[in-house]
Structure 1
Amino acid sequence: MIAERKEVRASEAFRAQVLESARRFKASWVELAAHLWRVRSEGLWEEWGYATFEAYCSKELRIRRTTARKLVASYGFLARREPEVLSDRERLNRAPSFEVIEVLSRAEERGQLDDEAYAAVRESLWERPVDESEIRRELARRFPEPEPPPPPVDLELRRFAAQARKLARELGGSSRIPRAIAERAAALAEDLEELARSGGA
């Protein structure tokens, strides 16, 4: 029982520490990211009464879920690529923003960033003052995001049909639009709706 109480007190003390680091987020993203990494990896959010890690970040820390995921991904990248930096406060104070590190993390996940590619950009990140906008443009050029897949045909057709129907209603309700044009718009909307129902066949 005594050991359990000590564990609970330690957990709650760490919980307060995470909350405080969230308040200092803008000053030190790495500190908060390290805490979030531990919270997620140890499942502490469950112990603290939250259904998911994202819910804990959103409700207790007031951090958006996407931001929390980026912070954890960025910390993971540093732990893999620059573990010595994590114990060097002077270098941490010069760390690029987590948005920059997260670009590299995504590139690594896509297989675009190997050791050679990272070595080519490392100096611009750590060995000289970083111009955030410049380095982000450079990283986007070196490691472009893949084109998003096209939407499924039926979803695309339904969107076109809805847009055409909205246009037809607006044209039909305007006294400045000739009736023939409004009727053609309505006919186009009907054709697109039929096409969407048939799945584009």
Structure 2
Amino acid sequence: MISKYTCIALCLLTVGCGGGSSDETSTPAPTVPDQNSGTTPPPDINPDPTPDPAPDPTPDPDPTPEPNPPAANLDSVVVPEQFDWSMYKEDEVKIKTVTSTMRPDGELAGLGGKHFMKIVALDGNQQEVENPLQRSLTSRTGETRTKLKLPNEWYGIKVEVTVGSQVCSKVFSKEEVTGEIEVPCDIEMPAGDGE
């Protein structure tokens, strides 16, 4: 008997709650007003979407024509012979510390001894780049060999050599940084002492 009442109660509950559908996207069935009751149905909770406004029937006075897209063919591109495809200039260079004393052959005399050398990069505005490219000691002959790799947008380098308490420096453009370059120091040497 208890199971009979339980079944009836469960059926009434299911019917009273809307039939047991758990689909949240389902729409309720529209209600039709009863002619005799005079009540109006509840409002539709999912109204029809509003249609887009009608497009303007007047065309643009002067429509701009679409340009033809460039051909995807690179056969017509001509690259000048002197064009440098690299993004940097790389050279091995010998940096030599020299004095203002001329040797008999007309060259500046080398300034022997181990000297502290600092190479700083210069950007396109000839301003020093924050971190030095190299810090080193020269050989006993006052020279050093190094390989420098300079980005194309840089101007060049500044080489500073400390000889005793004197700092000697010279600026070189990228084009000059090749082969052998000399950093002069205004130090007089007796004739015959330089290399």
Shorter-normalised TM-score: what interval?
under 0.3
TM-score normalised by structure 1 residue count: 0.19
Tell me: higher relative CO, structure 1 or 2? Use CA pairs within 8 A at least 6 residues apart. Answer: 2
Which has the larger strand fraction?
Answer: 2
Larger Rg belongs to: 2
Which has the larger helix fraction?
Answer: 1
